[in-house]
Amino acid sequence: MTTYRALTEAEAIAYAKELPNIFAADAQLTSREIGDGNLNLVFHITDEQSGRSLILKQALPYAKVVGESWPLTLDRARIESEALQLQASFCPELVPHVFAYEKDLALTVMEDLSDHVIMRKGLMENNRYPLFAGHIGTFMARTLFYTSDLGMNQQKKKLQVGQFINPELCKITEDLIFDDPYRDSPNNNVEAHLKDAVAAIWKDHDLHLEVAILRNTFLTRAESLLHGDLHTGSIFIKADSTKVIDPEFAYYGPMGFDIGALLANLLLNYAAQEGWSTDEAERADYRKYLLETVKEVWTVFEREFRTLWDNDVTDPMSETPAYQDWYLNRVLQETIGFAGCKMVRRIYGLSHVADIDGIEDASAREKAQRLALAIGTSLIKHHRKAASIDELIAIARDAAVSREGVVK
Amino acid sequence: MTTYRALTEAEAIAYAKELPNIFAADAQLTSREIGDGNLNLVFHITDEQSGRSLILKQALPYAKVVGESWPLTLDRARIESEALQLQASFCPELVPHVFAYEKDLALTVMEDLSDHVIMRKGLMENNRYPLFAGHIGTFMARTLFYTSDLGMNQQKKKLQVGQFINPELCKITEDLIFDDPYRDSPNNNVEAHLKDAVAAIWKDHDLHLEVAILRNTFLTRAESLLHGDLHTGSIFIKADSTKVIDPEFAYYGPMGFDIGALLANLLLNYAAQEGWSTDEAERADYRKYLLETVKEVWTVFEREFRTLWDNDVTDPMSETPAYQDWYLNRVLQETIGFAGCKMVRRIYGLSHVADIDGIEDASAREKAQRLALAIGTSLIKHHRKAASIDELIAIARDAAVSREGVVK
């Protein structure tokens, strides 16, 4: 098995059988291809007798979303497996365990997490996860701190930057998040009822300036090893466990991009409540839960990050008074800006989110979309002035209130 | 010749003879080792008959300054030769031509520039170079623009970042410029008469904050392929020609670091006039020339950079109104901050400059040193507020005037 080929289910089973110390030699394995992404095959391998199971994730050499015509590097499988293993070294309980990585097949053998659900789905069912903010705040604090110049040897960090250079996957982000949504690009996917709002964004030069600045930060700030695609569809969750998956977009970039992605997806669900909750009190209550979660995610991140800094900082200049405050304020500002960009692109860019698109009633969907755009553009415009996470919360709350008054 | 060894002069001659199409087969070559740096052997190979000559530059596996005990990667010879060739693709007339690079020997064969002088020497003789600002402004604009996300394909740029990862040489900068000078480090080299001024810097937390921010920018902003050590000792000059040499510190960093290094070295000579000119009118006049050069370097850089941006920009978001102004103001601010750091470290850090240390009269030298420290620390503290190069000029001029009044 030394030349790449996309595995069949039978081949996936044969491969899994050969793995040392996992299944019995005479185990009867079954496989189900459960990939619902656009880029990979995901085989769920089960041994019903022992109850053991595994995931085989194989990168495809193209993006399925547009057929085989969009080739995509297999190197992302290496990046994903190496990122997972690095993240596991900082917080093993928050990522799936990697058993093996087979370079030639672009194949990663991972822990099966099918007792968890994808968080986006959980939020769309209005479930609550009281431990989530603590888990994800810790995940971000630890992975972002320990891969930065603050938390590791600064010469080794440079080599690690080289290890995670990821041009093709970064290009997807650069195009779909920091370019297409701000002009009339064929990659956009604009519903007819949104055309006026989108046309206004295409003409808003003040907004474009802030996006250009954020794009520049994404392109040039080699700060930490990012997950790179940290939305609620990249998180497996259940009441007592959170697992961050799919870091194939990992590269060295600005911390705020990961944090902003996560907060944006909570806020997209917040906007989507326009369409999901028919009971107004229930809607208000779930929104309150979401905003409390947003705040707690940042609060945990900041507290953990400051603790790591105080205890484990490697950079001799980093003990300078006021520098930690300056640093975290910059991360906060970029978090808010990136959160805004991540919201906007999910409303009329190439790739939407089920929270919003799943709203069947067109008028309710439109309300949710306009609310998300109002929050997203406000966050982008405000980001360089921000000094507290409460400003993000206030923007989300005010936008919802004024929508309730105006649009309803 | 496939295993590394430091060449003798005889071996350098033998090697030069084998180069194709340069010397005649029966040429009588002579060699002189002229390396006055700390890190390399530099053989000047001459054929008196034809008048042809060449430079063979070989990296040593250690830093001579502290004997063989400070090992240093030979990979810097690859980085230097690749950087020179890349720079030559943007401005061939402003760098030495590279004829060959021999990886195993860490050896670069280059154009002989011995009809030029090292610019630091020229400035110490109070020479003037009316074409210099135009040359170096163009060099910086072209090399910094065309290696950035503004001027090249953004995916190729990421691969180029990987090509120029340069941990060991960066560490020298990080330690000697952004760490040691701000604490009582054994690497510092403090003259007794400066102890009070240096002690004040070690206690100045406002200053440390600005240095920590600049250090962070040096560590994380992968903006352009820098020369990395662009002082007046890295420039060969004569009336009608400027050649930038020795880019072994090249790596992807913030544009302002190169520009700031250059301006700092002009300002160090400006401070050194305290000791070099005995005639007061002459001193004032040469200082005026130096400040005019500083201003012209920035002005040419900015004009050329804006022209390249207007004509050749590759980034689709970069045409956003006001973005170019925002971008150049950020580069200006970082230029001013890095210029300050570069001045401070040359006064009492590990490695000084001949402009200052060459002043034999201790009292005059002290005046020059204190003036350089006053300018350097003011630039660092002011940098995040700067909006015009005139502010840097005013800081230099005001510091000299107040020194003249107070210290004399």
User: In sequence order, which residues have a C-beta less than 8 Å from that of residue B267 and are 6 or more positions away?
Assistant: B290, B294, B339, B343, B372, B375, B376, B396
What's the average model confidence in pLDDT over A306-310? 98
What's the average model confidence in pLDDT over A313-324? 93
What's the average model confidence in pLDDT over B382-387? 98
d(CA A309, CA A321): 12
CB contact under 8 A, A171 and B154: yes
* pLDDT beyond 90 at A39: no
A346, A372 contact by CB (below 8 A) = yes
In a domain, B3, yes or no: no
Question: Residue A354: what residue type?
Answer: A
Q: Indicate whether A224 and A372 sit together in one domain.
A: yes
Residues of B in contact with A380 (CB under 8 A): none
Q: Indicate whether B377 and B240 sit together in one domain.
A: yes
Q: Indicate whether B52 and B28 sit together in one domain.
A: yes
What pLDDT score was predicted for residue A64? 62
Which of B79, B111, B143 is the endpoint of a domain?
B111
What pLDDT score was predicted for residue B289? 98
Using alpha carbons only, what angle is made at residue B11 by residues B9 and B16, rounded to the nearest 5 degrees? 95
Q: How far is B191 from chain A (nearest CA, A)?
A: 24
Smallest CA–CA distance from B318 into chain A, residue: A212
* pLDDT beyond 80 at B347: yes
Report the residue from B155, B178, B317 with minimal CB separation from A215.
B317
Which two tokens mark A199?
């046309």
Measured from the Cβ of residue A322, the count of other Cβ atoms closer than 10 Å reads 12
Q: How far is A194 from chain B (nearest CA, A)?
A: 23
Quote the ipTM score.
0.95
Q: Is B36 annotated as a binding residue?
A: no
Q: Indicate whether A100 and A150 sit together in one domain.
A: no
Q: Indicate whether A196 and A236 sit together in one domain.
A: yes
Q: Indicate whether B164 and B134 sit together in one domain.
A: yes
Give residue-wise pLDDT tens across range A151-205.
Answer: 999 999 999 999 999 999 999 999 999 999 999 999 999 999 999 999 999 999 9
* pLDDT beyond 70 at B67: no
* pLDDT beyond 90 at B44: yes
In a domain, A1, yes or no: no
What pLDDT score was predicted for residue A359? 96
Distance set, CA A304 to CA A135, A222, A308, A312, A337 (Å): 11, 21, 6, 12, 22
What pLDDT score was predicted for residue B63? 74
Give residue-wise pLDDT tens across range B115-163.
Answer: 999 999 999 999 999 999 999 999 999 999 999 999 999 999 999 999 9
* pLDDT beyond 90 at A338: yes
Distance set, CA A54 to CA A43, A235, A244, B20, B235 (Å): 8, 18, 17, 61, 61
What pLDDT score was predicted for residue A67? 52
In a domain, A3, yes or no: no
Q: Indicate whether B262 and B297 sit together in one domain.
A: yes
What pLDDT score was predicted for residue B393? 98
Using alpha carbons only, what angle is made at residue A155 by residues A152 and A161, rounded to the nearest 5 degrees? 80
d(CA A116, CA A81): 20
Q: How far is A106 from chain B (nearest CA, A)?
A: 21
Name the band, by pLDDT with cuts 50, 70 and 90, for residue A66.
Answer: low
* Domain at B43, CATH number: 3.30.200.20
Torsion angle defined by CA atoms of residues B217, B271, B132 and B259, in that order, rounded to the nearest 10 degrees: 0
Tell me the pLDDT of chain A averaged across its residues: 94
Q: How far is A386 from chain B (nearest CA, A)?
A: 18
Name the band, by pLDDT with cuts 50, 70 and 90, for residue B408.
Answer: very low
CB contact under 8 A, B149 and A219: yes
Which of A58, A85, A111 is the endpoint of a domain?
A111
Most B CBs within 10 A among A182, A209, A220, hence the mutation to make, goes to A220
What's the average model confidence in pLDDT over B166-172? 96
Name the band, by pLDDT with cuts 50, 70 and 90, for residue B407.
Answer: very low
Q: Indicate whether A143 and A289 sit together in one domain.
A: yes
What's the average model confidence in pLDDT over A55-71? 77
Name the band, by pLDDT with cuts 50, 70 and 90, for residue B235.
Answer: very high
Q: Indicate whether A27 and A77 sit together in one domain.
A: yes
Give residue-wise pLDDT tens across range A222-265.
Answer: 999 999 999 999 999 999 999 999 999 999 999 999 999 999 99
Q: Indicate whether A24 and A105 sit together in one domain.
A: yes
Tell me the pLDDT of chain B averaged across its residues: 94
What pLDDT score was predicted for residue B25? 86
Give residue-wise pLDDT tens across range B11-30.
Answer: 999 999 999 989 998 899 99
B182, B209 contact by CB (below 8 A) = no
Nearest to B59 by CA among B251, B212, B197, B248: B248
Share of chain A above pLDDT 90, in %: 89
What's the average model confidence in pLDDT over A310-331? 95
Most A CBs within 10 A among B314, B317, B330, hence the mutation to make, goes to B317
In a domain, A146, yes or no: yes
What pLDDT score was predicted for residue B325? 98
* pLDDT beyond 50 at B54: yes
What pLDDT score was predicted for residue B135? 98
What pLDDT score was predicted for residue A278? 74
In a domain, A156, yes or no: yes
What pLDDT score was predicted for residue A37? 58
* Domain at B313, CATH number: 3.90.1200.10
* Lowest pLDDT segment from B15-19, B102-106, B136-140, B402-406: B402-406
What's the average model confidence in pLDDT over A362-378? 97
Residues of B engaging A, defined by a Cβ cutoff of 8 Å: 149, 154-156, 158-159, 161-162, 165-168, 170-171, 174, 178-179, 182-183, 205, 208-209, 211-213, 215-216, 219-223, 315-318, 320-323, 326-327
In a domain, A2, yes or no: no
Q: How far is B186 from chain A (nearest CA, A)?
A: 15
User: In sequence order, which residues have a C-beta less than 8 Å from that of residue A98 and are 6 or more positions away?
Assistant: A81, A84, A85, A88, A108, A109, A110, A111
What's the average model confidence in pLDDT over A34-57? 90
Report the residue from A165, A174, A178 with minimal CB separation from B161.
A165
**Buried (b) or exposed (e) across A9-29, using 16+ Cβ within 10 A?**
bebbbebbbeeeebbeeebeb
CB contact under 8 A, B221 and A216: no
Strands laid side by side in the B117-118 sheet: B117-118, B235-238, B241-244
* pLDDT beyond 80 at A407: no
Smallest CA–CA distance from B211 into chain A, residue: A317
| Half-sphere CA count of A89, side-chain side, radius 13 A | 10
Please tell me what DSSP assigns to residue B193. Answer: G
CB contact under 8 A, B158 and A149: no
Residues of A in contact with B158 (CB under 8 A): 165-167, 170
Total tally of structural domains belonging to chain A: 2
In a domain, B238, yes or no: yes
Q: How far is A317 from chain B (nearest CA, A)?
A: 6
In a domain, A132, yes or no: yes
What's the average model confidence in pLDDT over A38-66? 88
CB contact under 8 A, B209 and A170: no
Q: Indicate whether B185 and B328 sit together in one domain.
A: yes
CB contact under 8 A, A327 and B167: no
* pLDDT beyond 90 at B404: no
What pLDDT score was predicted for residue B5? 93
Share of chain B above pLDDT 90, in %: 89
A348, A188 contact by CB (below 8 A) = yes
What pLDDT score was predicted for residue B406? 46
What's the average model confidence in pLDDT over A392-405? 87
Q: Indicate whether A27 and A164 sit together in one domain.
A: no
What pLDDT score was predicted for residue A71? 83
Query: What's the domain range around B26?
Result: 9-111
What's the average model confidence in pLDDT over B46-61? 94
CB contact under 8 A, B167 and A158: yes
Which of B111, B129, B154 is the endpoint of a domain?
B111
CB contact under 8 A, B220 and A327: no
Nearest to B248 by CA among B119, B61, B77, B111: B77
